Structure 1
Amino acid sequence: MPLYFFQISHGRYAGTSDQGTEFESRDAAWREMTRICSDLLRGVSRNLKQNGEWQMVLLDEARKPVFRIRLVAESIG
């Protein structure tokens, strides 16, 4: 099974996971990534600064990006 790593850009959980996680497929990895994001977003959004950004990236075995989810706070006007 393919090995994937999670990387978070900011906050308490920032960094790249040291140990990879095996998933049956890219779709299974995507489902887990979205599940983890949904668990984290409440706390992330509470601490997000104006014009700030938070992101989670799913990396493959070669540590190359496969998927990215971004939360961006923008001042308009």
Structure 2
Amino acid sequence: MPQYFFRISHGRFAGASDQGSEFESREAAWAEMTKVSGNLLGSIARSLKQDAEWQMELIDESKKPVFRIRLIAESLG
């Protein structure tokens, strides 16, 4: 099974997990990513500053992004 890694970016911070996870399919990888990001988003949204972005990516063994979830706070006026 292919191995995947989570990478989170928030402002100037960016980091990827050192330990990979194996999933039976892309759908299983997506399901886990949405579960993990869902658990984190409440606390992230409460501390998100204006004009900031938070994102989580699932990257493959070659460090190529497979999926990305982004939370963007935009000041429109």
Same fold? TM cut 0.5: yes
Q: How many angstroms apart in 2 are the aligned matches of 1:53 and 1:29?
A: 23
1:9 aligns to what SS in structure 2?
strand
Deviations 1:22-57 (A, max 9, x none): 000111000000000100000000110000000000
2:24 aligns to what SS in structure 1?
coil
Gaps of 5+ in 1: none
Give identity over the alignment, percent: 67
Gaps of 5+ in 2: none
Q: How many angstroms apart in 2 are the aligned matches of 1:53 and 1:63?
A: 21
Aligned length: 76
Q: 4+ residue stretches of structure 1 with deviation over 3 A?
A: none
TM-score by length of 1: 0.93
